[in-house]
Amino acid sequence: MPRRYDPERRQRIIDAAIRVVGAKGIAGLSHRSVAAEADVPLGSTTYHFKTLDELLVAALRQSNEGFAKVMAAGGAFEDPDADIAAELARLLGEWFAGERAGLELEYELYLAALRRPALRPVAAEWCQGLTEVLTPRTDPVTARALVALMDGISLEVLLTGGEYDEAYARDVLGRLLARGGGRGA
pLDDT averaged over the chain? 87
Fold: same for 1-50 and 60-179: no
pLDDT (tens digit per residue) in 106-147: 888 888 888 889 889 988 888 888 888 888 888 999 999 999
Cβ-based burial of 160 (10 A; exposed 0-12, middle 13-18, buried ≥19): exposed
Does residue 2 register a pLDDT over 50? Answer: no
150: nearest Cα among 135, 132, 164: 164
Among 62, 65, 127, 61, which residue's Cα sits nearest to residue 95? 65
pLDDT of residue 183 exceeding 70, the answer is no
pLDDT tens-digit map of 163-175: 999 999 999 999 9
Q: Which CATH class is domain 60-179?
A: mainly alpha
- Mean pLDDT over 7-36 rounds to 92
pLDDT value at position 178? 92
Domain ranges of the chain: 1-50, 60-179
pLDDT in tens, 70-110: 777 766 777 778 899 999 999 899 888 877 777 888 888 88
Helix (H, G, I), strand (E, B) or coil at 131: helix
Instruction: Check residue 64 and give its pLDDT.
Output: 77
Helix (H, G, I), strand (E, B) or coil at 116: coil
Q: Domain 1-50 has what CATH class?
A: mainly alpha
The three-point CA angle 81-82-83 to 5° equals 120
How is the chain split among helix, strand and coil, in percent rounded to 5? Answer: 75, 0, 25
